[in-house]
Amino acid sequence: MKNTLKTLLYWVLLFFILLIGIYILISFQYIVIAKFTGVLIVIFFVSALKIWTTNSKKKNLKLKKTQLNLNHRYWLSKNCPFYYSLNSADKVVFEDRIGLLLSKIGVIDFEKEVTTEMYLTIMAFCTITNWNFPFWDLGTIHYFSNNLDKTILNESRIECSFNSISNSILSSTIKPIDDIQSNPTEEIQAIILNVYKKEFKN
């Protein structure tokens, strides 16, 4: 990223020098040449900026996204009714969002090893709740931690019952948020809390 930014700065400096050259040409009454040079500078500058922006976006996506394989997709189809109900195009979007979350969010269980399936479950839960909105990476939340007794939210993590989340995914009780009134993380915590209460009422 630093190298691409440095390259952009070099181009900006070059164009600035060329603009000064245009001013000099105008001073010596070379108006037609100055105009032609100015048009070329604008075209080159816009093209260079577009190429730099496109390459930066591609590099960021490659760094951040974890690719889902065939086994992951099969598991989602069997264990996540919401994913199964999506059309082919939306399934790709769903998988991309999970892949982005997998590269950003950790899952911790102090009682046992966290399986790949549990990772997928947690990320699917977050993806479903925010499905109606552009991709959101949970802000300052860096990991989920398993807590069988209560749901807790702080600046860096969400503690909750992983069993509650798994049951909500399997039973399709979890639905996408229609309107985010406050912080999305707090909305997710509220949904987890409701799911948790329903599970223990039953």
> What residue type is assigned to position 45 of the chain?
F
Give the predicted TM-score (pTM) of the model: 0.62
Mean of the per-residue pLDDT values of the chain? 79
Q: How are strands ordered across the β-sheet holding 143-146?
A: 106-108, 143-146, 157-160, 152-153
pLDDT digits (tens, 9 = 90+) for 26-80: 888 888 887 887 787 778 777 776 776 666 555 444 446 788 999 999 999 999 9
Backbone angles phi, psi at 66, to 5 degrees: -95, 125
DSSP state letters, 41-70: HHHHHHHHHHHHHHHHHHHHHHHHPPPP-H
pLDDT above 90 covers a percentage of the chain that reads 25
Average pLDDT over residues 128-155: 83
pLDDT above 70 covers a percentage of the chain that reads 80
